[in-house]
């Protein structure tokens, strides 16, 4: 490569880095945990009470609410675009393969929004509710907590289907595909391994792990046999049958997810591939032995994920109802 081309490439790289730095600094300048201290002092306690009530009714809802925040932030940024239903000019992100009949908890977010609107009409965004609900869900089932930066606004558009399907990881992804997916959002390999630990709670549908339990060699035979009992090999039977992502403590947020991977008992292909040779496999082993480190890194990664391309200032809007634009 000529010196001129190297110089041009270096300048382009420096410019891209500068723009990314400015974007991050802009986010940090607008988002703050104290955003609603004066405008809606009851916001956080209202969200917290509603989340605790929902998870108390159905423990699985904790995983569902964390997942909603994840699926929202990975597509078009943390702007609550995922919550928009089909309408004129809007094709809902909920129709994309990774969300269709899989992402859930929308009615809980609607209920939380309704409760918040009663105390502070038109103040708290749906995007912020998603972020706080994820934190409160983690804490309620024994997981880490963290300070949620606030001040996001809601989008007036949904991302197109192709973008959703490109940006959201899927259960069949290989390691390189996962790394690319997270890197696209500015998240590191460490963030990826830590955030994957959220699969310590929740459930998956048979269609997402059928291929793994019937065809993959790196799986504990007894574990595979147990999962086959309720997940038939036929691709037209039992697709929506559920199985816990963590067999041992399915309703508690802990580091058992990583211990399962060491025993070749990861339910999804995209989980088990983390137990690779090299630094990624080393992180899995480390978290399996050190829950405190996992909790700290998970919390830090959630804060980082919450910073992905938020709408702030006068951009977007604060929706009155999360599923439709004003």
Question: Could you list the pLDDT tens digit for every one of the 326 residues in the chain?
Answer: 443 433 443 344 344 444 444 444 444 448 999 999 999 999 999 999 999 999 999 999 999 999 999 999 999 999 999 999 999 989 999 999 999 989 999 999 999 999 999 999 999 999 999 999 999 999 999 999 999 999 999 999 999 888 999 999 999 999 999 999 999 999 999 999 999 999 999 999 999 999 999 999 999 999 999 999 999 999 989 999 999 999 999 999 999 999 999 999 999 999 999 999 899 999 999 999 999 999 999 999 999 999 999 999 999 999 999 999 99
What pLDDT is attached to residue 30? 84
Query: For this structure, is 69 an active site residue?
Result: no
Q: What pLDDT, in 10s, does the model give residues 50-87? A: 999 999 999 999 999 999 999 999 999 999 999 999 99
What pLDDT is attached to residue 295? 98
CB distance 227 to 88 below 8 Å: no
The half-sphere exposure of 278 on its side-chain side, counting CA atoms within 13 A, is: 7
What pLDDT is attached to residue 277? 83
What pLDDT is attached to residue 166? 94
Q: Residue 103 region, left (φ>0) first, then alpha (ψ -120 to 50), else beta?
A: beta
Q: Which parts of 79-205 fold into alpha helices (H)?
A: 106-119, 126-140, 161-167, 175-184, 189-196
* Closest alpha carbon to 16 in 179, 168, 162, 186: 186
Q: Residue 78 region, left (φ>0) first, then alpha (ψ -120 to 50), else beta?
A: beta
| Residue 87: strand pairing partners | 90
Query: How long, in residues, is the chain?
Result: 326
CB distance 138 to 230 below 8 Å: no
Q: Which of 30, 69, 71, 199 is catalytic?
A: 71
Regarding beta strands 242-244 and 203-205, do their DSSP bridges make them parallel or antiparallel, or are they unpaired? Answer: antiparallel
Q: Residues 6 or more apart from 40 whose CB is under 8 A from it? A: 116, 119, 120, 123, 124
* DSSP state letters, 194-240: HHHGGGGS-EEEHHHHHHHHHH-SSS-HHHHHHHHTTS-SSTTSSTT
* pTM higher than 0.85: yes
- For 53, the token pair is 């009530």
| Residue 154: strand pairing partners | 317
Q: Residues 6 or more apart from 187 whose CB is under 8 A from it? A: 195, 301, 304, 305
Calpha distance 165→44 (Å, rounded): 32
State whether the Cα torsion 264-267-269-270 is positive or negative: negative
What pLDDT is attached to residue 21? 42
């Amino acid at each position: 490569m000529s010196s001129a081309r190297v110089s041009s490439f270096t300048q382009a790289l420096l410019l891209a880095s500068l723009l990314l730095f400015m974007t991050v600094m802009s986010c940090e300048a607008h988002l703050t945990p104290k955003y609603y201290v004066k405008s809606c002092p009851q916001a956080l306690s209202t969200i917290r009470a509603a989340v605790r009530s929902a998870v108390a009714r159905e423990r699985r809802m904790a995983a569902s609410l964390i997942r909603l925040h994840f699926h929202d932030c990975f597509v078009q940024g943390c702007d609550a675009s995922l919550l928009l239903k089909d309408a004129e000019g809007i094709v809902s992100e909920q129709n994309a393969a990774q969300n269709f009949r899989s992402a859930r908890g929308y009615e809980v977010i609607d209920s939380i929004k309704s409760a918040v609107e009663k105390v502070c009409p038109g103040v708290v965004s749906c995007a912020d509710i998603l972020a706080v609900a994820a934190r409160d869900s983690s804490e309620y089932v024994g997981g880490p907590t963290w300070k949620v930066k606030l001040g996001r606004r809601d989008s007036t558009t949904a991302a197109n289907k192709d973008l959703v399907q490109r940006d959201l990881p899927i259960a069949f992804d290989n390691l390189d595909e996962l790394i690319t997916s997270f890197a696209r959002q500015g998240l590191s390999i460490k963030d990826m391994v830590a955030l994957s630990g959220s699969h310590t709670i929740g459930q998956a549908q048979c269609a997402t792990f059928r291929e793994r339990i019937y065809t993959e060699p790196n799986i504990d035979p007894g574990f595979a046999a147990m999962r086959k009992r309720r997940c038939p090999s036929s691709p037209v039977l039992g697709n929506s049958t559920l199985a816990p992502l963590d067999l041992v403590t399915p309703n508690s947020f802990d580091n058992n997810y990583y211990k399962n991977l060491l025993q070749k008992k990861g339910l999804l292909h995209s989980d088990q591939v983390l137990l690779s040779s090299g630094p990624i496999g080393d992180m899995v082993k480390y978290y399996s032995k050190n829950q405190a480190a996992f909790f700290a890194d998970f919390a830090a990664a959630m804060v980082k994920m919450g910073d992905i391309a938020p709408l702030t200032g006068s951009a977007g809007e604060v929706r009155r109802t999360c599923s439709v634009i004003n």
